[in-house]
Amino acid sequence: MTGPRYTPLIDTLPSTVPFVGPETQERRMGHPFAARLGANENGFGPSPRAIAAMAAAAGEAWKYGDPENYELKAALAARHGCRPENIVVGEGIDGLLGYLCRLVIAPGDAVVTSEGGYPTFNFHVSGFGGVLHKVPYAGDAEDPEALLALAAQIVPKLIYIANPDNPMGSHHPGATIAAMVPRVPEGSLLIVDEAYVELAPEGTEAPIDADDPRVIRMRTFSKAHGLAGARVGYAIGAAPLIAAFDKIRNHFGMSRIGQAGALAALTDTTWLAYMRRLIGASRDRIGAIARENGLVPLPSATNFVAIDCGRDGAFARAVLAELTSAGIFVRMPGVAPLDRCIRVSCGPEAEVEAFAAALPGALSRARAAQ
Amino acid sequence: MTGPRYTPLIDTLPSTVPFVGPETQERRMGHPFAARLGANENGFGPSPRAIAAMAAAAGEAWKYGDPENYELKAALAARHGCRPENIVVGEGIDGLLGYLCRLVIAPGDAVVTSEGGYPTFNFHVSGFGGVLHKVPYAGDAEDPEALLALAAQIVPKLIYIANPDNPMGSHHPGATIAAMVPRVPEGSLLIVDEAYVELAPEGTEAPIDADDPRVIRMRTFSKAHGLAGARVGYAIGAAPLIAAFDKIRNHFGMSRIGQAGALAALTDTTWLAYMRRLIGASRDRIGAIARENGLVPLPSATNFVAIDCGRDGAFARAVLAELTSAGIFVRMPGVAPLDRCIRVSCGPEAEVEAFAAALPGALSRARAAQ
């Protein structure tokens, strides 16, 4: 009675998870957070139109969602000026990154990303036996030149860049990202993770032909659209690549309620513009709070602000722990030198002010402990 | 510019999909179905308590779902008399079957199932390079003895049985399934897919120790609970196997709204009892309609009825096509000899009566065409 025989690959994988959820921390603490500003969720909430559509869809939840995501793909194609055949909808960008890794990564295959880049991408790469090759950030930004230089050497299956970046909030002009594409080695695929791009300055969206076979762009309803809990992401790419997802994806994996919410959110451009303004204001306020405490907020093209705590990772981790103890959920980059920062998501005024109230004490306790 | 290099396995996979959704057929026809009785959805709908919980959760959809599914697992553990460590929650049974195949199936690994068994399981097995070995049904039921005999020969990674069965609706006593477990070969894992078990006669649920490492049971909120579109399934198994899912699953893949709906549905035992009675009545009515038309309804322990059309697969396919043309969405088994049947899901009276009204004409046109 020894149970199943796992694959050799599975036996080598660790049991770690990419992120611990705030609910887990709340259960450990025995009380809820006063401010939920750690997961780059959009606490201003989804469009009322999306809420109404999801509430209406709840009564229809006995129906499976349309496995083709037809209406949502049609609306997204219209939005992006491409064909529905260029779009695959999935269970968040996380789900789509998993599917993409499964399509191209066999054990030993090389992947290029940044040291400190999105951990869940790394989780999926490793989960299929891929080998991560990392380049450092250039300052606080992912480094297209370094990524391309390493890619030219090792011709990886995948090259990953997020623009804007998470966890630092920096961004490159979309033209810089588009200029990477002709330099992608033959047989490599560039992933451009644009999870936060709706919140970035005009011109950050990479002007890339949807049918270009060298690149796939990832988008989500989790950030600007405030629908993280509905689990709707999508990818834009060449039709043959998009069709390949059908070989393996969970065809009935999408929530019908999520489909309805995303479709409604997409039509509410007024709400999206409102979100951009609220988030911009919140970004500025978080920056001001940082400066009032003698810290340096990094420029952000996202719905979060990385705050340089001015010392090393150990100090930032101490500040984070103090904030957590004070009921403030924030996160921080995992590796040096990025880990001199804490990362604070934009959110409603009451939660941001709870952070403001907790920060001075957290800093002084962290300093006293050093 | 040739695009990405897929894995050797992916290159071998076909682009077929397990099921075409009714929405796809509706778009082809240019009008909606009058009766949606093909996907074994529960048209009586979810508990009002679940609908209210999902509608309430819609406004909170900006939060990611709890990646640990803590509350839902706790409630399920209480329901099943096991520990939360024995339960993994996923994006429907389909999603969990995919994860399970990924855990154990490497290219070339053997899997035992029934000829005509659940196609989506086969999709996932093939999707990881597994080799399907199939035994025939015994009459209209999956055959535990044949499955075990073949398993003893080839010692597969996985052995799949659904109880009650889909697509025929037959069932074995739970004791028969439990008696399979000691005969599972060392190194094999028995999957017991109990998607429909809440709708089956008392005693169909297999009395299996959750910590037995030789078996994993699959359950869903899609059928009796009427939450197919919310995408919540779960598996019950030994803690080390359940923990292995954490190595690979999409930790933030669950919809927060679905989590809320499932938790509320689980508490509404009165609604579940009501569903059992409505579905039982609908089952009887579908059987009567079949007999009124000179056809033979098979006994069903599920929310659907397989109707033996009395001739071969070509005839049943013709009947199905005629029903589809008449606006009635039903499905049928894919392989002989099961494919002498059409499969009609239970549902609201108006839809079942639309089927009743359409069936005589469909039969006569199908007969005329032969």
Paired residues of A170 in beta bridges: none
pLDDT over 90 at B125, yes or no: yes
State how beta strands A110-114 and A131-135 pair.
parallel
Model pLDDT, residue A2:
77
Q: How far is CA A266 from CA A221, A232, B156, in A?
A: 9, 12, 47
Res B17: pLDDT = 75
DSSP B29-57: HTS--SEE-SS---TT-S-HHHHHHHHHH
CATH 3.30.1180.10 for domain A20-45+270-369, yes or no, is: no
Instruction: Indicate yes or no: CB of A64 within 8 angstroms of CB of B41.
Output: yes
Side-chain-side CA neighbours of B312 within 13 Å: the count stands at 2
Q: Do B10 and A214 touch (CB under 8 A)?
A: no
Is the pLDDT at B217 greater than 80? The verdict is yes
Q: Taking the alpha carbons of B205, B227, B71, B272 in that order, is the dihedral positive or negative?
A: negative
Q: From CA A213, how far away is CA A191, in angstroms rounded?
A: 11
Q: What is the separation, in whole angstroms, between the first and last Cα of chain A? A: 51
- Tell me: pLDDT of B18 over 80: no
B326-B327-B331-B335 Cα dihedral, nearest 10 degrees: 30
**Which pLDDT does position A19 carry in this prediction?**
83
pLDDT of res. A137: 98
Which strand ranges, in their side-by-side order, compose the sheet holding B110-114?
Answer: B87-90, B233-236, B215-220, B189-193, B158-162, B110-114, B131-135
What is the DSSP track for B90-153? ESHHHHHHHHHHHHH--TT-EEEEETTS-HHHHHHHHHTT-EEEEE--BTTB--HHHHHHHHHH
Arithmetic mean of pLDDT, B15-42: 92
**Chain B, window 235-254: residues with a beta carbon less than 8 angstroms from a chain A beta carbon:** 238, 240-241, 243-244, 246-248, 250-254
Query: DSSP class of residue B185?
Result: P
Query: Residues A351, A353, A358, A359: is their CA dihedral positive or negative?
Result: positive
Res B1: pLDDT: 73
Segment A118-142, tens digit of pLDDT: 999 999 999 999 999 999 999 999 9
Q: Is the pLDDT of residue B19 over 90?
A: no
- Residue A186: list chain B partners with CB under 8 A: 1-2
In this predicted structure, what is the pLDDT of residue B51? 98
SS3 at position B186: coil
Where does chain A have alpha helices with state H?
Answer: 8-12, 22-29, 48-58, 70-80, 92-104, 119-127, 144-154, 174-178, 239-245, 256-267, 269-292, 313-325, 349-369
Give the mean pLDDT of chain B. Answer: 97
| DSSP 3-state of B26 | helix
Residue B94, phi then psi, degrees to nearest 5: -55, -45
Low pLDDT (below 50) residues in chain A: none
Domain range list for chain A: 20-45+270-369, 48-267
pLDDT at residue A340 in the model = 98
Q: Say whether A252 and B17 touch across the interface (CB within 8 A).
A: no
Test A241 with B3 for CB contact under 8 angstroms: yes
Query: Following CA atoms A140, A141, A142, A146 in sequence, which dihedral angle do they give, to the nearest 10 degrees?
Result: -90
Which stretches of chain B are DSSP H helices?
8-12, 22-29, 48-58, 70-80, 92-104, 119-127, 144-154, 174-180, 239-245, 256-267, 269-292, 313-325, 349-369
Nearest to A23 among B21, B45, B66 (CB): B66
A227 CB within 8 Å of a chain B CB: yes
pLDDT at A15: 82
> What pairs with residue B133 in β-bridges?
B112
Give the list of residues 6+ apart from residue A280 with CB closer than 8 angstroms, or none: none
pLDDT in tens, B269-280: 999 999 999 999
User: Sign of the C-alpha dihedral, residues A312, A314, A319, A323?
Assistant: positive
- Which backbone phi and psi does B307 adopt, to 5 degrees? -110, 120
In a 3-state reduction of DSSP, which class is residue B297? strand
At A259, the amino acid letter reads Q
> Which residue in chain B is spatially nearest to A238 when comparing CA positions?
B3
Residue A31 sits at the chain B interface (C-beta within 8 Å): no
Which chain A residue has the Cα nearest residue B44?
A62
Q: What is the pLDDT of residue B223?
A: 98
Q: Tell me: the pLDDT tens digits for B161-170? A: 999 999 999 9
Q: Percent of chain B, pLDDT > 70?
A: 100
Check residue B135 and give its pLDDT: 98
CATH topology of domain A48-267: Aspartate Aminotransferase; domain 2 (3.40.640)
Residue A23 CA: distances (Å) to CA of A34, A294, A343, B76 = 12, 31, 18, 18
Alpha carbons A169 and A173: distance in angstroms, whole number: 13
Please indicate whether, in this complex, the C-beta atoms of B226 and A60 are within 8 angstroms of each other: no
pLDDT of B52 > 80? The answer is: yes
Tell me the one-letter amino acid at B107: P
B348 Cα distance to chain centroid: 20
Smallest CA–CA separation between B328 and chain A, in Å?
15
Band of pLDDT at residue B96, cut at 50, 70 and 90: very high
Q: Region B313-320: what's the mean pLDDT?
A: 98
- Return the residue of A nearest to B22 by Cα: A66
Contact criterion met (CB below 8 Å) for B135 and B159: no
Contact B4 A230 (CB under 8 A): no
Residues in B closer than 8 angstroms to A54, CB to CB, are 54-55, 58, 61, 257
| Helical (H) or strand (E) element with B220 | strand B215-220
Phi, psi of B308 (to 5 degrees): -75, 115
Average pLDDT over every residue of B128-135: 98
Position B193 confidence tier, pLDDT thresholds 50, 70, 90: very high
